[in-house]
């Protein structure tokens, strides 16, 4: 199972779309080095999953193959919204071809599969983010737009609202949750934001708070058995590039870099920015001075 959050982070006058998840797949065993957030053959979007791996992995891989097989999809001339519609059709066609095997006795209950899919729309000039899940009543996959994290003067805290767009002048950030621990993450984030932003004057959109919630859940020795491993982080930038980040885990002092759930081998030299999970600063052996976490520094290739 999974804890998975995707949100639009505000940095000064810029934004970036971030995906973060745990790294555990579990059935009768725990496998803690499994990528759950994947890049695609175009550079303006990414996809992540929770639920039944047997369904999710083939569907995500086939989506990637479909993008690679059609130039307008591959180069991005078809907008990310059009790609979302194509993804739904691919997932539906594959789901309808799943049949029960005569060699399996009884019913095998699968965990519900949910995808978080999003990227930068050159048509709408903003990040788009959807939660995609199979709706049994309609016998198809349905995409639901992300909610908005905005400050409520009535509630005196940051709340999550389902609406087409924020009210005029309202500061809000898109956010989506998935996984069996998604509800717990949502509750923890609500409590965290209430402490960080006691008034509307301090709220300028989401920062790294969703990552910090997942980090703390994974560090908790009493966390759910359904999640585990190192946090995975992937960014989609406004200049339409995607990049997974390495993470020092369990902290920078340990010196172990995990990339998309897997610890780097001693001889590996990964050309990726690496995130300190406590200071939220990122660094790169090639580019970083390791002295700031700003839009200019993090936007280098």
- Evaluated on CA atoms 108, 111, 112, 113, the torsion sign reads negative
Name the helix (H) or strand (E) containing 33.
none
- Is residue 27 scored above 90 in pLDDT? no
Q: SS3 sequence, 51-99?
A: CCHHHHHHHHHHHHHHHHCCHHHHHCCCCHHHHHHHHHHHHHHHHCCCC
pLDDT averaged over the chain? Answer: 92
- Is residue 296 scored above 90 in pLDDT? no
pLDDT digits (tens, 9 = 90+) for 263-283: 999 899 889 999 999 999 999
Complete domains list, the chain, with CATH: 4-267 (3.60.20.10)
- Is residue 48 scored above 60 in pLDDT? yes
Query: Span 50-67, mean pLDDT?
Result: 96
The confidence band for 300, taking pLDDT boundaries of 50, 70 and 90, is: very low
CB 2 within 8 A of CB 21: yes
DSSP string of 234-290, one letter each residue: EEEETTS-EEEEEEESS-GGG--EEETTEEPPTT----S-EE-TTT--EE-TTT--S
The confidence band for 192, taking pLDDT boundaries of 50, 70 and 90, is: very high
pLDDT digits (tens, 9 = 90+) for 152-177: 999 999 999 999 999 888 999 999 99
d(C-alpha 128, C-alpha 145), whole Å: 8
- Is residue 301 scored above 60 in pLDDT? no
How much of the chain, in percent, has pLDDT values that exceed 90?
Answer: 84
**Is the whole model's pTM more than 0.85, yes or no?**
yes
- Is residue 239 scored above 60 in pLDDT? yes
pLDDT digits (tens, 9 = 90+) for 60-108: 999 999 999 999 999 999 999 999 999 999 999 999 998 878 777 666 5
Query: What does DSSP say about strands 242-248 and 274-275: parallel, antiparallel, or unpaired?
Result: parallel
Residues 6+ apart with CB under 8 A from 200: 151, 153, 171
């Amino acid at each position: 199972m999974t804890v998975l959050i995707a949100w639009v982070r505000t940095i000064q006058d810029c934004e970036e779309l971030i995906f973060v998840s745990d790294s555990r797949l579990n059935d009768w065993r725990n496998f803690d080095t499994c990528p759950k957030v994947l890049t695609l053959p175009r550079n303006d979007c990414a996809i992540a999953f929770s639920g039944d791996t047997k369904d999710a992995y083939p569907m995500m891989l086939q989506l990637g193959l479909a993008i690679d097989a059609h130039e307008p999809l591959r180069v991005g001339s078809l907008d990310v919204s059009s790609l979302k519609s194509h993804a739904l059709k691919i997932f539906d066609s594959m789901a309808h071809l799943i049949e029960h095997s005569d060699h399996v006795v009884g019913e095998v209950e699968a965990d519900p599969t949910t995808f978080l899919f999003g990227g930068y729309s050159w048509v709408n000039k903003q990040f788009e983010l959807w939660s995609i899940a199979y709706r049994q009543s309609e016998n198809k996959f349905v995409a639901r737009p992300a909610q908005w994290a905005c400050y409520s003067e009535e509630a005196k805290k940051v709340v999550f609202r389902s609406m087409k767009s924020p009210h005029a002048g309202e500061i809000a950030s898109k956010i989506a949750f998935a996984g069996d621990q998604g509800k717990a993450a949502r509750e923890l984030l609500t409590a965290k934001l209430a402490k960080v932003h006691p008034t509307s004057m301090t709220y300028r959109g989401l920062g790294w708070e969703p990552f910090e919630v997942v980090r703390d859940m994974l560090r908790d020795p009493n966390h759910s058995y359904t999640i585990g491993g190192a946090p995975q982080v992937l960014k989609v930038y406004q200049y339409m590039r995607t990049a997974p980040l390495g993470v020092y885990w369990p902290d920078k002092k340990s010196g172990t870099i995990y990339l998309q759930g897997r610890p780097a081998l001693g001889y590996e030299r990964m050309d990726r920015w690496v995130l300190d999970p406590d200071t939220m600063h990122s660094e790169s052996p090639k580019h970083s001075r390791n002295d700031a976490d700003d839009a200019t520094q993090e936007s280098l290739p």
